[in-house]
Amino acid sequence: MILVLGIAGLIWWGGRLFGLPAAVRQLLLGFLYLAVLSIQLTLPAGSPLREATGGSAALWLLLGGAAILIGLYAFVLRKLKSRVQPVEDAMPDKPGTFTETELNRYARHIVLREVGGPGQKRLKQAKVLVIGAGGLGAPVLQYLAAAGVGTIGVVDDDVVENANLQRQVIHRDQDIGVPKVFSAQKAMEAQNPNVVVRPFHRRLEAEIASELFAEFDLILDGTDNFDTRYLVNRTAVALGKPLISGALSQWEGQLSVFDPKTDGPCYQCIFPEAPAPGLAPSCSEAGVIGPLPGVVGTMMAVEAVKLITGAGSVLRGEMLIYDGLYGETRKIRLSKRSDCPVCGGAH
């Protein structure tokens, strides 16, 4: 056994030293394997040559099977990578093509049957707008950038405060006083220099909402006030843009996908009026456990990736509710309201 492994090592590394191509060395190893296997299958038990080469054909058959499986895996991986048109390791010339660095970075997506090369292309070509760079926006922005979403816009008029850092993990201590959109942009570009980040350091207002939303394919709302939520919903419905909305309260979070192109409800179907003061206190008033925005925001990012790539089933007409205090999740069905002032009667 040791003799055969020594010969194999000599063929591989010795051949490399003398400049033999990998394909030639692989062929020589194949011949060596067949020769050893022939010895094990043809010579009688106890033969000195058979004993010197392992003494049993079963071991070599197992090794051969393992080598075949590894070779098949490498072949499938190469085929999957070829579907996303690899180019030289520089900035790609065409939208949707990838550098070798990007192919390696997104390999875990590409080998997923539900995503694959075509899905990763759609992520690269997607334009996503995130409203809010706070608790929910932080994980949303981080994971969309890491996933390779090509263009990510972020709208927020706030600056980083010390009290944000308990849960808004995209920002750091040295970012205190920096506008959140620029702090988030720096972190996203450090995470993935292949994405384009478009920061909008201002409050979302009706005067700019339609023009801004028109530039993006998908909207994610992580804001903490009903006025902005209603504005986001009205604008998304008017432009036919899918909207992923999340919310937090103390230990509980919820998220849903509102898609005006389907017969499902919009946000205002479910929340027709803002609650009375005090009934829905903000995080600063009621508190929120630190990891909760990460849980819900990451779920929002998953829904975004699924919606862009067409994988699985998104939360259209459903709301997912997560209770962190008791470790429970549940889904409820959502219905369209015919008298909704935003989408009532629309199809």
Tell me the CATH number at 250.
Answer: 3.40.50.720
Find out whether 265 and 236 touch, Cβ atoms under 8 Å.
Answer: no
Residue 296: which of 339, 333, 246 has the closest Cα? 246
Q: Which residues pair with 219 in a beta bridge?
A: 129, 243
Largest CA distance in the chain: 91
- Residues 134, 226, single domain; the answer is yes
Exposed/middle/buried for 68, CB within 10 Å: 0-12, 13-18, 19+?
exposed
Instruction: State the average pLDDT over residues 66-93.
Output: 60
Domain-located, residue 133? yes
Pair of tokens at residue 204? 């979302």
Residue 169: which of 135, 131, 129 has the closest Cα? 135
Phi, psi of 148 (to 5 degrees): 95, 25
Domain-located, residue 242? yes
- pLDDT value of residue 79: 65
Please, which residues have CB within 8 angstroms of residue 28's CB and are 6 or more apart in sequence?
A: 11, 15
Instruction: State the average pLDDT over residues 32-56.
Output: 70
- Residues 172, 267, single domain; the answer is yes
Domain-located, residue 343? no
- Residues 132, 60, single domain; the answer is no
- Cβ count within 10 A of residue 331: 11
Q: Compute the distance between CA of residue 131 and CA of residue 101 in angstroms, rounded to an integer.
A: 30
- Residues 100, 146, single domain; the answer is no
- Residues 18, 61, single domain; the answer is yes
Mean predicted lDDT score pLDDT of the chain: 85
Instruction: State the average pLDDT over residues 231-246.
Output: 96
Domain-located, residue 192? yes
238: pLDDT strictly greater than 90: yes
Q: Compute the distance between CA of residue 278 and CA of residue 261 in angstroms, rounded to an integer.
A: 34
Domain-located, residue 344? no
- pLDDT value of residue 141: 98
Find out whether 144 and 304 touch, Cβ atoms under 8 Å.
Answer: yes
- Residues 78, 89, single domain; the answer is no
Domain-located, residue 282? yes
- Tens digit of each residue's pLDDT (9 = 90 or more) over 124-156: 999 999 999 999 999 999 999 999 999 999 999
- pLDDT value of residue 87: 38
First to last CA, the chain: 72
- Residues 77, 95, single domain; the answer is no
- Residues 138, 286, single domain; the answer is yes
Domain-located, residue 214? yes
Q: Which residues pair with 246 in a beta bridge?
A: 255
- Residues 239, 308, single domain; the answer is yes
Q: How many domains does the chain have?
A: 3
- Residues 250, 306, single domain; the answer is yes
- pLDDT value of residue 281: 66
- pLDDT value of residue 41: 72
Domain-located, residue 338? no
250: pLDDT strictly greater than 70: yes
- Tens digit of each residue's pLDDT (9 = 90 or more) over 2-19: 666 667 667 656 666 666
> What contacts 24+ positions apart, CB below 8 Å, involve 268-272?
268/230, 268/233, 268/234, 268/340, 268/341, 268/342, 268/343, 269/334, 269/335, 269/336, 269/337, 269/340, 269/342, 269/343, 269/344, 270/319, 270/334, 271/226, 271/229, 272/337, 272/340
- Residues 235, 165, single domain; the answer is yes
- Residues 174, 312, single domain; the answer is yes
Q: Which of the four pLDDT bands, split at 50, 70 and 90, describes residue 117? A: very high
Q: Which domain holds residue 93?
A: 84-117
Phi, psi of 318 (to 5 degrees): -140, 155
- Between the alpha carbon of residue 10 and those of residues 14, 59, 70, 172, the distances in Å are 5, 21, 22, 53
Residue 305: which of 105, 83, 123, 80 has the closest Cα? 123
| Backbone torsion region of residue 312, taken as left when φ is above 0, otherwise alpha when ψ lies between -120 and 50, otherwise beta | left
